[in-house]
Amino acid sequence: MPILEFELLSSFDSVCHGITTRTGGVSEPPYDELNLGLHVGDHPVRVIENRRRACAELGLEFERCTFAQQVHGEAVRVAAEKQAGAGRTRFEQGISAADGLLVKEPGVTVAITVADCVPMVIYDAEHHAGAVVHAGWAGTTAAIAAKAVARLTEECGSRPAALVVGIGPCIGPCCYHIGEEVAAGLSRGFAYAEPVAWEKEGGWRADLAKANWQQLRAAGVPAENIELSGICTSCEVERFYSHRRQGGATGRFGAFLSLR
Protein backbone atom coordinates (compact mmCIF):
# COMPACT_ATOMS: atom_id res chain seq x y z
CA MET A 1 0.00 0.00 0.00
CA PRO A 2 1.68 3.26 -1.10
CA ILE A 3 1.76 5.97 1.58
CA LEU A 4 2.91 9.49 0.76
CA GLU A 5 4.92 11.33 3.40
CA PHE A 6 6.22 14.88 3.58
CA GLU A 7 9.98 15.20 3.98
CA LEU A 8 9.61 18.08 6.43
CA LEU A 9 7.29 16.11 8.70
CA SER A 10 9.25 12.88 8.36
CA SER A 11 12.21 14.58 9.99
CA PHE A 12 10.37 14.43 13.33
CA ASP A 13 10.33 11.10 15.16
CA SER A 14 7.63 12.48 17.46
CA VAL A 15 4.86 12.38 14.88
CA CYS A 16 3.35 9.82 12.50
CA HIS A 17 1.66 11.05 9.35
CA GLY A 18 0.76 9.87 5.88
CA ILE A 19 -1.48 10.34 2.86
CA THR A 20 -3.02 7.30 1.22
CA THR A 21 -3.62 6.73 -2.48
CA ARG A 22 -6.42 4.64 -3.99
CA THR A 23 -4.30 1.47 -4.05
CA GLY A 24 -4.38 -1.45 -1.63
CA GLY A 25 -8.02 -1.76 -0.58
CA VAL A 26 -11.07 -3.95 -1.15
CA SER A 27 -13.62 -1.53 -2.63
CA GLU A 28 -15.09 -2.24 -6.05
CA PRO A 29 -15.55 0.23 -8.97
CA PRO A 30 -16.14 3.13 -9.02
CA TYR A 31 -14.63 3.24 -5.52
CA ASP A 32 -11.68 0.98 -6.27
CA GLU A 33 -9.64 0.29 -4.28
CA LEU A 34 -8.79 2.04 -1.03
CA ASN A 35 -11.86 4.24 -0.53
CA LEU A 36 -11.86 5.72 2.98
CA GLY A 37 -15.11 7.67 2.68
CA LEU A 38 -18.18 6.32 4.47
CA HIS A 39 -20.46 8.94 2.94
CA VAL A 40 -20.04 8.31 -0.80
CA GLY A 41 -22.20 5.22 -1.38
CA ASP A 42 -19.60 2.49 -0.97
CA HIS A 43 -20.43 -0.52 1.19
CA PRO A 44 -19.53 0.37 4.82
CA VAL A 45 -17.93 -3.04 5.46
CA ARG A 46 -15.44 -2.42 2.65
CA VAL A 47 -14.69 1.12 3.79
CA ILE A 48 -14.06 -0.02 7.36
CA GLU A 49 -11.71 -2.74 6.13
CA ASN A 50 -9.89 -0.14 4.02
CA ARG A 51 -9.52 2.11 7.05
CA ARG A 52 -8.17 -0.80 9.08
CA ARG A 53 -5.62 -1.55 6.37
CA ALA A 54 -4.53 2.08 6.11
CA CYS A 55 -4.06 2.31 9.88
CA ALA A 56 -2.11 -0.95 9.92
CA GLU A 57 0.18 0.30 7.14
CA LEU A 58 0.83 3.48 9.11
CA GLY A 59 1.34 1.60 12.37
CA LEU A 60 -1.71 3.22 14.00
CA GLU A 61 -4.50 1.80 16.14
CA PHE A 62 -7.71 1.73 14.12
CA GLU A 63 -9.79 1.97 17.32
CA ARG A 64 -8.26 5.40 18.02
CA CYS A 65 -8.51 6.81 14.51
CA THR A 66 -10.83 9.83 14.61
CA PHE A 67 -12.82 11.28 11.71
CA ALA A 68 -15.06 14.31 11.27
CA GLN A 69 -18.41 14.92 9.65
CA GLN A 70 -16.89 17.12 6.94
CA VAL A 71 -19.22 19.79 5.56
CA HIS A 72 -16.97 21.98 3.36
CA GLY A 73 -16.89 24.55 6.13
CA GLU A 74 -14.29 26.41 8.16
CA ALA A 75 -14.53 24.86 11.64
CA VAL A 76 -11.40 23.37 13.21
CA ARG A 77 -12.32 21.30 16.28
CA VAL A 78 -10.21 19.60 18.93
CA ALA A 79 -10.16 15.80 18.91
CA ALA A 80 -9.81 15.04 22.61
CA GLU A 81 -8.91 11.74 24.25
CA LYS A 82 -12.56 11.02 25.02
CA GLN A 83 -13.36 11.34 21.29
CA ALA A 84 -10.66 8.97 20.10
CA GLY A 85 -12.11 6.69 17.44
CA ALA A 86 -15.15 8.86 16.68
CA GLY A 87 -16.53 8.32 13.19
CA ARG A 88 -14.25 5.41 12.33
CA THR A 89 -17.16 3.04 11.53
CA ARG A 90 -20.09 5.46 11.03
CA PHE A 91 -19.97 8.85 9.38
CA GLU A 92 -22.68 10.31 11.61
CA GLN A 93 -20.63 9.49 14.71
CA GLY A 94 -17.70 11.63 13.58
CA ILE A 95 -16.85 14.94 15.21
CA SER A 96 -19.70 17.19 14.18
CA ALA A 97 -19.46 19.72 11.34
CA ALA A 98 -15.68 20.00 11.18
CA ASP A 99 -13.24 20.27 8.30
CA GLY A 100 -10.19 20.47 10.50
CA LEU A 101 -9.23 18.30 13.47
CA LEU A 102 -6.69 19.47 16.04
CA VAL A 103 -4.86 16.96 18.23
CA LYS A 104 -2.72 17.65 21.29
CA GLU A 105 -2.81 14.29 23.07
CA PRO A 106 -0.47 11.45 22.05
CA GLY A 107 -2.11 8.34 20.70
CA VAL A 108 -5.18 10.05 19.24
CA THR A 109 -5.09 9.80 15.46
CA VAL A 110 -6.94 12.41 13.38
CA ALA A 111 -7.85 11.93 9.73
CA ILE A 112 -9.66 13.75 6.95
CA THR A 113 -10.77 12.42 3.56
CA VAL A 114 -10.55 14.18 0.20
CA ALA A 115 -10.99 13.78 -3.56
CA ASP A 116 -9.72 16.99 -5.26
CA CYS A 117 -9.94 19.25 -2.18
CA VAL A 118 -6.72 20.26 -0.41
CA PRO A 119 -5.49 18.02 2.43
CA MET A 120 -3.11 19.66 4.89
CA VAL A 121 -1.09 18.21 7.76
CA ILE A 122 0.21 20.70 10.33
CA TYR A 123 2.66 19.97 13.14
CA ASP A 124 4.07 22.01 16.03
CA ALA A 125 7.16 20.26 17.41
CA GLU A 126 7.58 22.84 20.17
CA HIS A 127 4.22 22.03 21.78
CA HIS A 128 3.75 18.53 20.32
CA ALA A 129 0.42 19.31 18.71
CA GLY A 130 -0.97 19.32 15.20
CA ALA A 131 -3.96 19.29 12.89
CA VAL A 132 -5.31 17.86 9.67
CA VAL A 133 -7.37 20.13 7.42
CA HIS A 134 -9.73 19.61 4.48
CA ALA A 135 -9.98 22.71 2.26
CA GLY A 136 -12.27 22.83 -0.75
CA TRP A 137 -13.02 26.11 -2.50
CA ALA A 138 -15.55 27.06 0.20
CA GLY A 139 -13.21 26.26 3.09
CA THR A 140 -10.34 27.95 1.30
CA THR A 141 -12.39 31.10 0.73
CA ALA A 142 -13.37 31.02 4.42
CA ALA A 143 -9.66 30.88 5.38
CA ILE A 144 -9.70 27.48 7.09
CA ALA A 145 -5.89 27.16 6.85
CA ALA A 146 -5.40 30.44 8.70
CA LYS A 147 -8.06 29.42 11.20
CA ALA A 148 -6.22 26.17 11.87
CA VAL A 149 -3.07 28.17 12.63
CA ALA A 150 -5.07 30.47 14.92
CA ARG A 151 -6.69 27.52 16.68
CA LEU A 152 -3.30 25.92 17.35
CA THR A 153 -2.12 29.23 18.77
CA GLU A 154 -5.18 29.51 21.03
CA GLU A 155 -5.31 25.89 22.19
CA CYS A 156 -1.61 25.04 22.39
CA GLY A 157 0.33 28.29 22.40
CA SER A 158 1.78 27.49 18.98
CA ARG A 159 3.96 30.03 17.21
CA PRO A 160 3.08 30.24 13.49
CA ALA A 161 6.79 30.60 12.71
CA ALA A 162 7.44 27.18 14.26
CA LEU A 163 4.71 25.27 12.44
CA VAL A 164 5.52 22.76 9.70
CA VAL A 165 2.87 22.11 7.04
CA GLY A 166 2.43 19.57 4.26
CA ILE A 167 -0.04 20.39 1.48
CA GLY A 168 -1.07 17.17 -0.23
CA PRO A 169 -2.42 16.11 -3.62
CA CYS A 170 -5.40 18.13 -4.86
CA ILE A 171 -6.88 19.26 -8.14
CA GLY A 172 -4.45 21.58 -9.90
CA PRO A 173 -5.06 24.74 -11.93
CA CYS A 174 -4.50 22.66 -15.05
CA CYS A 175 -7.85 20.94 -14.39
CA TYR A 176 -9.76 23.11 -11.93
CA HIS A 177 -12.34 24.95 -14.02
CA ILE A 178 -14.61 27.18 -11.95
CA GLY A 179 -17.41 29.68 -12.41
CA GLU A 180 -17.03 33.43 -12.20
CA GLU A 181 -18.75 33.59 -8.80
CA VAL A 182 -16.30 31.14 -7.23
CA ALA A 183 -13.40 32.96 -8.87
CA ALA A 184 -14.63 36.27 -7.45
CA GLY A 185 -14.90 34.77 -3.96
CA LEU A 186 -11.39 33.36 -4.10
CA SER A 187 -9.98 36.61 -5.46
CA ARG A 188 -11.60 38.67 -2.71
CA GLY A 189 -10.19 36.41 -0.05
CA PHE A 190 -6.66 36.32 -1.44
CA ALA A 191 -5.48 39.78 -2.36
CA TYR A 192 -1.84 38.71 -2.15
CA ALA A 193 1.10 39.11 -4.48
CA GLU A 194 -0.01 36.45 -6.96
CA PRO A 195 -3.57 35.74 -8.11
CA VAL A 196 -5.12 32.39 -7.18
CA ALA A 197 -7.96 32.62 -9.73
CA TRP A 198 -7.76 33.90 -13.28
CA GLU A 199 -9.61 33.93 -16.59
CA LYS A 200 -8.37 31.61 -19.31
CA GLU A 201 -9.79 30.45 -22.64
CA GLY A 202 -13.24 31.84 -21.97
CA GLY A 203 -13.49 30.37 -18.47
CA TRP A 204 -11.93 30.59 -15.03
CA ARG A 205 -9.19 28.57 -13.34
CA ALA A 206 -8.02 28.44 -9.75
CA ASP A 207 -5.03 27.15 -7.81
CA LEU A 208 -6.30 25.90 -4.45
CA ALA A 209 -2.89 24.71 -3.29
CA LYS A 210 -1.37 28.13 -3.93
CA ALA A 211 -4.32 29.82 -2.20
CA ASN A 212 -3.75 27.80 0.96
CA TRP A 213 0.02 28.29 0.72
CA GLN A 214 -0.44 32.05 0.56
CA GLN A 215 -2.94 31.90 3.42
CA LEU A 216 -0.46 30.03 5.61
CA ARG A 217 2.27 32.51 4.71
CA ALA A 218 0.01 35.44 5.64
CA ALA A 219 -0.71 33.69 8.95
CA GLY A 220 3.01 33.70 9.73
CA VAL A 221 4.21 30.25 8.62
CA PRO A 222 7.62 30.57 6.89
CA ALA A 223 7.84 29.49 3.25
CA GLU A 224 10.58 27.01 4.08
CA ASN A 225 8.22 25.30 6.55
CA ILE A 226 5.57 24.53 3.92
CA GLU A 227 5.92 21.54 1.60
CA LEU A 228 3.74 21.21 -1.50
CA SER A 229 3.18 17.80 -3.06
CA GLY A 230 2.62 19.33 -6.50
CA ILE A 231 0.34 16.43 -7.48
CA CYS A 232 -2.91 17.05 -9.39
CA THR A 233 -5.54 14.48 -8.44
CA SER A 234 -7.40 14.93 -11.72
CA CYS A 235 -4.28 14.36 -13.83
CA GLU A 236 -3.31 11.34 -11.70
CA VAL A 237 -6.73 9.77 -11.28
CA GLU A 238 -5.16 6.30 -11.47
CA ARG A 239 -3.40 7.06 -8.16
CA PHE A 240 -5.88 9.37 -6.43
CA TYR A 241 -9.60 9.90 -6.35
CA SER A 242 -10.89 12.90 -8.29
CA HIS A 243 -14.47 14.06 -7.77
CA ARG A 244 -14.32 16.28 -10.85
CA ARG A 245 -12.61 13.81 -13.18
CA GLN A 246 -14.93 10.95 -12.19
CA GLY A 247 -18.16 12.91 -12.25
CA GLY A 248 -18.79 12.65 -8.53
CA ALA A 249 -18.92 8.84 -8.43
CA THR A 250 -15.68 8.13 -6.64
CA GLY A 251 -14.05 7.37 -3.31
CA ARG A 252 -11.87 9.36 -0.93
CA PHE A 253 -8.23 9.10 0.05
CA GLY A 254 -7.07 10.26 3.47
CA ALA A 255 -4.56 12.35 5.40
CA PHE A 256 -3.56 11.03 8.84
CA LEU A 257 -1.73 12.50 11.83
CA SER A 258 -0.88 10.99 15.20
CA LEU A 259 1.41 12.21 17.99
CA ARG A 260 3.82 9.60 19.30
Phi, psi of 148 (to 5 degrees): -65, -40
Whether residue 148 contacts residue 76, with contact meaning beta carbons closer than 8 Å, is answered with yes
- Which residues form the domain of 191? 13-259
For residues 146-161, give the mean pLDDT.
Answer: 97
Whether residue 208 contacts residue 171, with contact meaning beta carbons closer than 8 Å, is answered with yes
pLDDT tens string 194-210:
678 888 877 889 899 99
pLDDT tens string 209-230:
999 999 999 999 999 999 999 9
Q: Residue 240 CB: number of other CB atoms within 10 A?
A: 29
Q: Quickly state the pLDDT bin for 189 (edges 50, 70, 90).
A: low
Length of the chain: 260
Q: For residue 7, is it within any domain?
A: no
Q: Which residues pair with 102 in a beta bridge?
A: 78, 131
Q: For residue 84, is it within any domain?
A: yes
pLDDT for residue 184 is more than 90:
no
pLDDT tens string 35-66:
999 999 999 999 999 999 999 999 999 999 99
User: What's the structural domain count of the chain?
Assistant: 1
The sheet carrying 253-259 orders its strands as: 3-4, 15-20, 253-259, 109-114, 65-66
Q: For residue 34, is it within any domain?
A: yes
Share the mean pLDDT of the chain.
Answer: 94
pLDDT of residue 191: 61
Q: Is the whole-model pTM more than 0.75? A: yes
pLDDT for residue 102 is more than 90:
yes
- Indicate which CATH number applies to the domain containing 52: 3.60.140.10
Pairing state of beta strands 197-200 and 129-135? unpaired
Whether residue 256 contacts residue 110, with contact meaning beta carbons closer than 8 Å, is answered with yes
